[in-house]
Amino acid sequence: MKKLAAVFVIAVLGPALVLAWLATRSLRDQEIVVQSQQALLQQAATDALASDLNTYLDDVRVFFNRLVDQLVEEQGADALTREFDSLLPATWEQAAFACVVTDDGRMLSPAANPADPRAQRFLMENADFLTGKDTAQVYQATKPLSGWIQVEEVPADAPGKKENALPRLSSVRLQTAEASVAETESDKAPAPKAETAAAPAAPEPTLYKQNVVVAEEKLRSLPASRRNANEPAAVASGGFRQDIPAPVAAAPESPARAGATLADLQDADRDEPRTREPAEPKNRVVRPFSQTGQIDAQFSEITRMPGNDLALNPNTSGWSALRAAVGDIRAIIGDAPEGAISRFLADGLHVLVWRRHAAAPGRVFWVELDLSQLKKNLSRIVDLAAAPGAEACLALLDADGEPVARTVAEFATDWRRPFVASEVGPVLPHWEVAAYLIDPAAAGRNARAARLTLWLLVPFLLVAIGFGSLLIFHDIGREMLLARQKTDFVGNVSHELKTPLTSIRMFSELLSGGEPVEPEKRAQYSGIISREAARLTRLINNLLDFSRLERGDKPHRRDPLDAVALTRETVENYRHQIEADGFSIDLRDLAGNGGLPVTGDRDALAQVLLNLISNAEKYGGDTRAIEVEIGRADGGEAGSPPRAEIRVLDRGGGVGRKEAARIFEKFYRADDSLSSGIQGSGLGLTLARQIARAHGGDVIHRPREGGGSCFALVLPVTDVSLT
């Protein structure tokens, strides 16, 4: 038993405790893994949206190169140089101001001291830097990706898109200029005569501007539910799609932006020759991964996990990946054919784009982009990235950490503490695409719920294992006890069978021997042989009956019987054998003259009485007197039918309190027959109770007053007439 307990502890209970400890320990790791996967998912979303914003900014730069080429072709380099500051903003809606500067530092357009306040302010802020008289700290963009762009034309004096094809914008402006020249010359000519009818005035042509719109086909962050609807035909109303050649044929091929991160774009531009000094790195305007309420140490633990892509993510550092350059304009732009730089002034960010043209050597065409117009278009990209039911809100933040656009309009939070974020790039330095969990506490709640469930489940399972272990040990102990009892039963039955067989053999040999036997001894020997044979028969019948009852193969007949007559008949049949063994048996009828009608199997009930009398004979002690009483007893409970009770009483040593609860168990004996000398198989009382209960009754034990035991066969009384 001890070995079995040790094996159970080692094989079941020990591993269960270890698994419970490992499951509890892994809860925190699982929470970190979930947050890590969530961070990677949202990081991919912010990277995709930042890539889309950079793609659109590339389209703006490519469009500016195309527009400069078109205007040079239409107007000529010299004429365009003189009117570039007024012509470009009138032609392009996203241009705030334009100028032309020579490589040697002369401002060709606009003229000195322009009347436009915006031009005065632009020159005051940028003239010294663009002409090379001063240095500045700027962010220089990488080379754009050449390709098709999407453009629309809008009236200069009213919002809306033009539905039909228009003449070239420069020709429209030229027509307007020619009309004004004609009007001036008409002022110099003599007035017509009054009688001459005035010629109808020519309709003034409408001036339109071009605008670079968002090409949805290029967007990586567009939800899958919207991608099928983004066909090229969708831009037919007002916009048109154009394939734009590279700005300069000799320019090296640009790296593809699709899927490129900010670090990739920085690496692609790192090999260009630099003649400027890098500025000190700056802190980012946001602190990613703080909105979840987790400490920085936990985020560090996430990034240290094997195979985790977050370990290489720029969000692990609070420093910006962008490095500004400090120098003059010649050192910054060099001989590049085009480019874009961004700089911060007192009033905020300024984005400048330049272009050189082969027809205008030594001249650089500059334009400052209208940041308010850019924000509208960039907001459109952010709106398209919105997905219903998303667990995070994506937001575009400016350099001050204020939201420019967001995918969930009603969402508000501490914008400087996103879940993850991606820097947009050098065109919009220190602008961030940030992701904010709409319900940042959801992961914590789920982890706490899992932890609570596990803490409740583990003790329950341990208790269940412990309780099951007790049941198993109890059952094993019972089975082992039963096995020992079966072993004892085999020994007892062997002894029980051997004793009568020995007696029968011995007295049979005496009777059949050659010597004459006196008639008295012959009668004595014959009686002994008869009694031992009867005892042997009873023992074998008990074994057979028990076996059949265990299998459920022995049905009992249901015949009307008189319990009094059955008891008297059984006692009288067994009286001779009992008295021959030195016992006296006394039968007392307490039922009266009416009898006690019961229903049952006569032979089986007689077997029960014989077993009870035989038990009283074995344990009757020195007082060799057995009493049998039969009478009527109450049902015991209100409304219960009366019962017939046949009591067998002896004056033996009685049954102890411990044994009283087990004497009806199969194979159980209070005294071992091999050591006590009392013969028995341990089946008599068990078989008696099984037969009684099969008849709707029972066999019960009571201590007898004055010493001894009382075993009673209780049977329900029926209303069947015995006549």
User: Of the residues 437, 461, 482, which one is the last residue of a structural domain?
Assistant: 437
The arithmetic mean of pLDDT across residues 503-524, rounded, is 79
Q: How far apart are CA 695 and CA 604, in angstroms?
A: 10
Q: How far apart are CA 87 and CA 209, in angstroms?
A: 11
Report the range of poorest mean pLDDT among 118-127, 353-362, 402-411, 506-515.
506-515
The answer to whether residues 403 and 511 belong to one domain is no
At residue 672 the predicted structure's pLDDT band, cuts being 50, 70 and 90, is low
DSSP codes of every residue in 50-67: HHHHHHHHHHHHHHHHHH
Q: Is residue 520 in some structural domain?
A: yes
At residue 670 the predicted structure's pLDDT band, cuts being 50, 70 and 90, is low
Q: Is residue 597 in some structural domain?
A: yes
pLDDT at 197: 42
User: Of the residues 381, 409, 437, which one is the last residue of a structural domain?
Assistant: 437
Q: Is residue 443 in some structural domain?
A: no
The answer to whether residues 366 and 486 belong to one domain is no
Q: Is residue 448 in some structural domain?
A: no
The answer to whether residues 534 and 477 belong to one domain is yes
For residue 693, the domain's CATH number is 3.30.565.10
How many structural domains compose the chain? 2
The arithmetic mean of pLDDT across residues 359-388, rounded, is 94
The alpha carbon of residue 354 and the mean position of all alpha carbons in its chain are separated, in whole angstroms, by 54
Buried b (16+ CB within 10 A) or exposed e, 349-383: bbbbbbbbbeebeebbbbbbbbbebbeebbbebbe
Residue 602, domain extent: 473-716
pLDDT at 556: 73
Q: pLDDT of 69-84, one tens digit each?
A: 999 999 999 999 999 9
The answer to whether residues 347 and 488 belong to one domain is no
The answer to whether residues 537 and 633 belong to one domain is yes
Indicate if the alpha-carbon torsion angle 291, 296, 301, 307 is positive or negative: positive
Triad 310, 316, 322: Cα angle to 5°: 110
The arithmetic mean of pLDDT across residues 291-319, rounded, is 55
The answer to whether residues 573 and 701 belong to one domain is yes
The answer to whether residues 424 and 501 belong to one domain is no
The answer to whether residues 387 and 508 belong to one domain is no
Q: Is residue 460 in some structural domain?
A: no
DSSP codes of every residue in 528-544: HHHHHHHHHHHHHHHHH
Q: Is residue 107 in some structural domain?
A: yes
Q: Is residue 38 in some structural domain?
A: yes
The answer to whether residues 535 and 613 belong to one domain is yes
Q: Is residue 85 in some structural domain?
A: yes
Determine the residue type at 209: K
User: Of the residues 413, 437, 461, which one is the last residue of a structural domain?
Assistant: 437
Q: pLDDT of 236-264, one tens digit each?
A: 333 444 444 433 333 333 333 444 444 45
The arithmetic mean of pLDDT across residues 168-172, rounded, is 41
The answer to whether residues 478 and 423 belong to one domain is no
The answer to whether residues 389 and 536 belong to one domain is no
